[in-house]
């Protein structure tokens, strides 16, 4: 076994060990960042009517996206998906719709939704 092969094996083992150690932190980070985003969006005023969007609207937008993602996964078994999350928020006061992309640089940005 050449030195290069040994190095490659060590690198692969290192990646597996590191991934196993880091996974709980990655999961915790994603849970916390989702919770912070939900709180921030819930407090954000609707750009059209100025009323706070509220937690129920944000939670339901997130849940809709998760159901959509589940549907996409079921339709594409065995495929490693690369999809961008998209929450469609509806203001409970004026029914304006907004799109939130949690993975973008400014996740709390409210973009006008399809029916806005
Ligand atoms: Zn509104």
CB contact at 8 A, 66 and 102: no
Cα-to-centroid distance, 89 and ligand 1 (Å):
10
Cα-to-centroid distance, 85 and ligand 1 (Å):
22
Cα-to-centroid distance, 21 and ligand 1 (Å):
44
Length of the chain: 116
Structure tokens at 27: 């999961």
pLDDT tens track of the chain, all 116 residues? 688 999 999 999 998 888 888 888 888 888 888 899 999 999 999 999 999 999 999 999 999 999 999 999 999 998 888 888 999 999 999 999 999 998 888 888 899 988 64
d(CA 47, CA 102): 18
Q: Which helix (H) or strand (E) holds 89?
A: strand 87-90
Q: Which residues make beta-bridge pairs with 88? A: 99
Cα-to-centroid distance, 52 and ligand 1 (Å):
8
Model-level pTM?
0.72
């Amino acid at each position: 076994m050449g030195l290069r092969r040994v190095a490659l094996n060590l690198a692969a083992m290192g990646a597996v060990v590191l991934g196993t150690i880091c996974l709980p932190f990655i999961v915790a980070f994603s849970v916390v960042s989702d919770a912070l985003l939900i709180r921030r969006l819930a407090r954000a005023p609707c750009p059209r009517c100025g009323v706070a969007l509220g937690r129920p609207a944000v939670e339901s937008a997130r849940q809709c996206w998760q159901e959509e993602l589940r549907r996409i996964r079921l339709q594409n078994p065995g495929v490693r998906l690369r999809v961008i999350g998209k929450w469609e928020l509806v203001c409970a006061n004026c029914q304006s719709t907004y799109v939130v992309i949690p993975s973008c640089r400014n996740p709390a940005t409210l973009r006008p939704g399809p029916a806005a």
